[in-house]
């Protein structure tokens, strides 16, 4: 049980570092650490499939994509001038209002039941595969169309158009 | 492995909700504070992941595997979103030589 609180502390700590780091490359590296703590959360929930997918897709693919973009465009100069203190204050107020609303709503509900895994095979690949290919077969196929269109769109956007020269 | 997770899982559901809310609001603050478009994108990823964790926790809490399938779909969506978004950022950088979002204030009207 204490493991959860330790990992939760690490998640919050690293995610604060993500938005406060001056250098964007450091931000991405902290984001990788944050996602690693999320993977540990999934393992604690015995959601092994999600842990592996989070590890491979998020930490392996998406963040490497971020890092490549940043390094290929040579943007890691850290030349971003910060916003004014008023805007920072307003942003913290805005985020804090959401946080306080949810926490107050939870307090109003009182104590909650502990999260207990009744069926240990819930998050395993075998069980999830059966659910995915029985109940969610159509959304699964549609998501492949989504990925294809995203790929086409990304290539179309990022290619240099010589004729129109936007 | 099963015994390990059984002893570890005695965390109240509220604590999962509070953790996800904190990380989500950190993402909101990141979007509002930063000016670098890529860091704003990373904050959006942070928000998506907070929701993912909460869906997984609810799924375990209710003993229903649908929540984890939804997390899988959200991950596919996030991959698509990142691909298109980074392509847009590359185009912005080519056109304006900067990824500061204040350059984009011509989109305001």
Residue-wise pLDDT tens digits, B13-59: 888 999 999 999 999 999 988 888 888 999 999 999 999 999 999 99
pLDDT digits (tens, 9 = 90+) for A69-120: 888 877 656 556 666 788 888 889 988 999 999 899 988 887 777 777 777 7
Query: What is the value of pTM for the model shown?
Result: 0.88
pLDDT score for A144: 93
User: Could you tell me the residue ranges of all domains in chain B?
Assistant: 2-107
Domains in chain A: how many in total?
Answer: 1
B residues 44-63 near A, CB within 8 Å?
Answer: 45-46, 49, 52-53, 56-57, 59-61, 63
A85 occurs within a structural domain = no
Confidence of residue A166 (pLDDT cuts 50, 70, 90): very low
Output the domain CATH number for residue A23: 1.20.120.1200
A6 occurs within a structural domain = yes
A63, A67, A70, A72 alpha-carbon torsion, rounded to 10°? -130
Q: What is the spatial distance between Cα B90 and Cα B79, in angstroms, rounded to a whole number?
A: 17
A105 occurs within a structural domain = no
Chain A interface disruption, residue of B31, B80, B101, most A CBs within 10 A: B80
B42, B43, B45, B50 alpha-carbon torsion, rounded to 10°? 150
A104 occurs within a structural domain = no
A109 occurs within a structural domain = no
pLDDT score for A123: 81
Q: What is the spatial distance between Cα B49 and Cα B41, in angstroms, rounded to a whole number?
A: 13
CATH class held by domain B2-107: mainly alpha
A69 occurs within a structural domain = yes
A50 occurs within a structural domain = yes
Q: Are B44 and B74 in contact (CB under 8 A)?
A: no
Query: Exposure pattern of A35-52 as b/e (b: 16+ CB <10 Å)?
Result: bbbbbbbbbbbbbbbbbe
Containing structural domain, residue A62: 1-79
């Amino acid at each position: 049980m204490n493991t959860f609180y330790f990992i939760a502390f690490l998640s919050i700590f690293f995610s604060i570092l993500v938005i406060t780091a001056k250098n964007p490359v450091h931000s991405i590296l902290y984001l990788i650490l944050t996602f690693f703590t999320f993977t540990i959360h999934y393992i604690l929930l015995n959601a092994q499939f999600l842990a592996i997918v989070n590890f491979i897709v998020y930490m392996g693919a998406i963040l490497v994509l971020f890092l490549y973009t940043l390094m290929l465009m040579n943007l890691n100069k850290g030349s971003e001038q910060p916003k004014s203190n008023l805007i920072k204050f307003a942003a913290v107020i805005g985020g804090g209002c959401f946080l306080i609303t949810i926490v107050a709503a939870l307090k109003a509900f009182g104590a909650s039941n502990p999260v207990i895994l009744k069926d240990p095979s819930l998050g395993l690949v075998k069980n999830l595969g059966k659910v995915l290919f029985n109940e969610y077969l159509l959304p699964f196929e549609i998501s492949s169309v989504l990925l294809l269109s995203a790929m086409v769109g990304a290539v179309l956007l990022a290619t240099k158009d010589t004729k129109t020269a936007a | 492995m099963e015994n390990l997770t059984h002893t570890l899982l005695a965390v109240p559901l509220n604590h999962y909700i509070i953790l996800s809310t904190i990380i989500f609001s950190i993402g909101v603050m990141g979007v509002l504070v930063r000016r670098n478009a890529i860091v704003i994108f990373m904050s959006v990823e942070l928000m998506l992941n907070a929701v993912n964790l909460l869906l997984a926790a609810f799924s375990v809490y209710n003993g229903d595997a649908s929540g984890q399938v939804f997390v899988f779909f959200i991950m596919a969506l996030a991959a698509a979103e990142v691909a298109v978004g980074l392509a847009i950022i590359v185009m912005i950088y080519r056109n304006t030589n900067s990824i500061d979002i204040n350059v984009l204030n011509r989109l305001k009207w």
